[in-house]
Amino acid sequence: MSDELTRLMRDGMAAEARGVSAGPEFTERVIGRALAAGGPAGGPDRRPPWQNWVLPVAAAALVALLVGSVLIGTKLVHSAGPASKPNPTLSQPSSSPSRPSTSPSNPSPSSTPSSSATGQSSSAVGGPAGGPVPPGFRGYDLTWVSNDLGWALGSAPCGNPPCTSILRTRDGGKSWVGIPAPRAFLTQADTCTSDCDQISHLRFANSLVGYAYGPNAFYLTTDGGASWHQQSGGYAYGLEVVAGSVFRVSAQAAGCAPGCDFRLQRSAIGGNSWQDVPLPAGGRNAAAELAVSDRTMVLATYGNPAGGAEDETSVLFISTDAGANWHRVAEPCPRQLSNEVDTTGVTVAPDDSISLLCVLRGPNWEAGTVTSTDGTHFEQLRPAPASDGIGAVSAHHLYLLGGVNGFYESTDSGQQAVPDGPPVGYYIGFESTTVGRVIGSDHSGGGREGTWTTTDAGKSWTYHPFR
């Protein structure tokens, strides 16, 4: 091959290569090495005669291949667009249910879409793609890892129980999709034998790691809900994520209540190795509830009020440093004359204040609330409507979920019903000083369920159905 032809090939291919990301320097090196003398610089050419024309042609072919590959790869990258970033991990909102029941509620089954039926696939931004929302879905619990990414646990009619369902939203509850759920009955909706697997709550630690749990079953997902795996010997009466760790309330045996020896355990997110967290002695044994916000944690243990037994008050264990240290607080709800007053719900507000829902035993089962800003001292009882749950924006801004009795707001200026809020609700939780959620029905009277969301600390509420 002549020097002139070689030069022309070199210049032409180098010019072509300058238009792609491989760079002209790389092309020059490929051609240069193919054309270089076999010996030292300035020495004789020791290549066989056939290499004088084969190597330049091979170099040309290699550069052409590289140029084409880079061009194709560049077009593919641009057509795909930038990769989505995973959602950040945030603290879970504290649900404030009434005192957990030790027996199942009336049946209300639901369906669970299968991954094969919906063509779902796992992704790093939150798991399976999702399918249709099961008709008649009824929600009982919510969990959020950001203002937009959340999940709902519930049920809907189906022909092959258990019919537990899980929904996911990526737009703050405006729209939902169904994703696979564990093959377990739902405590709030199903009736089954004592040895069946039952879950009652759902918590996600981030976009991929989630926990579905109850008093005799414990499931873990690490792919955003595409698959669930039952953990051997696992169950939980409460579970929350605090400061990068998962805390769960366990006991000596599944389904032991009343008569449980409750203990608190800690694990790494997504792990299955749990260590006991030392607590002061003296808890109750009928039921337990865990509520958290930022670094403040409250483990409420409840006594057994069956038969009107006296002195079955609650005992709280409180930590203000993400579970490093704990102190015990005897029943904060004050006794009224000769009548016992019991804690039936607890919530921790974003300002780390702790508020309790209190119920006075007696013919009218009157209610009230007490609040602490230091985790030790609780203020005087404030009367309140009979309610099933409590949520808090701050120490001085509370909400009560009255089930069939309505939705109430309490501030320093008094208590009032919230006419533009949910008429009926089953869950309430505040994720920040501005964002809160309620599971409830709309105002149509048809019982259609969805989520009510506030983004302005309760000044206004917006309803979106589960669809």
Rounded mean pLDDT for each run of 10 residues along the chain, 467 residues in total: 47 44 40 39 38 38 36 30 32 38 32 36 67 95 96 94 96 97 91 81 97 94 97 88 96 88 96 94 93 96 72 91 96 82 93 94 79 94 88 96 81 86 88 94 84 95 94
Q: Which of 60, 80, 100 is the last residue of a domain?
A: 80
**Mean pLDDT computed over every residue of the chain:** 77
Q: Does any domain span residue 399?
A: yes
Task: Look up the pTM and report it.
Answer: 0.73
What's the 3-state SS for the chain? CCHHHHHHHHHHHHHHHCCCCCCHHHHHHHHHHHHCCCCCCCCCCCCCCCHHHHHHHHHHHHHHHHHHHHHHHHHHHHHHCCCCCCCCCCCCCCCCCCCCCCCCCCCCCCCCCCHHHHCCCCCCCCCCCCECCCCCCEEEEEEECCCCCEEEEEECCCCCCCCEEEEEECCCCCCCEEECCCCCEECCCCCCCCCCCEECEEEECCCCCEEEEECCEEEEECCCCCCCEECCCCCCCEEEEECCEEEEEECCCCCCCCCCCCEEEEEECCCCCCEEECCCCCCCCCEEEEEEECCEEEEEEECCCHHHCCCCCCEEEEECCCCCCCEEEECCCCCECCECEEEEEEEECCCCCEEEEEEECCCCCCEEEEEECCCCCCCCCEEECCCCEEEEEECCEEEEECHHHCEEEEECCEEEECCCCCCCEEEEEECCCCCEEEEEECCCCCCCEEEEEECCCCCCCEEEECC
Q: Does any domain span residue 119?
A: no
Looking at the structure of the chain, the number of domains it has is 2
pLDDT in tens, 347-368: 999 999 999 999 887 666 688 9
Domain interval for residue 422: 331-467
Q: Does any domain span residue 367?
A: yes
Q: Does any domain span residue 243?
A: no
Q: Which of 29, 63, 80 is the last residue of a domain?
A: 80
Q: Does any domain span residue 365?
A: yes
Q: Which of 23, 53, 80 is the last residue of a domain?
A: 80
Q: Does any domain span residue 53?
A: yes
Q: Does any domain span residue 304?
A: no
Q: Does any domain span residue 353?
A: yes
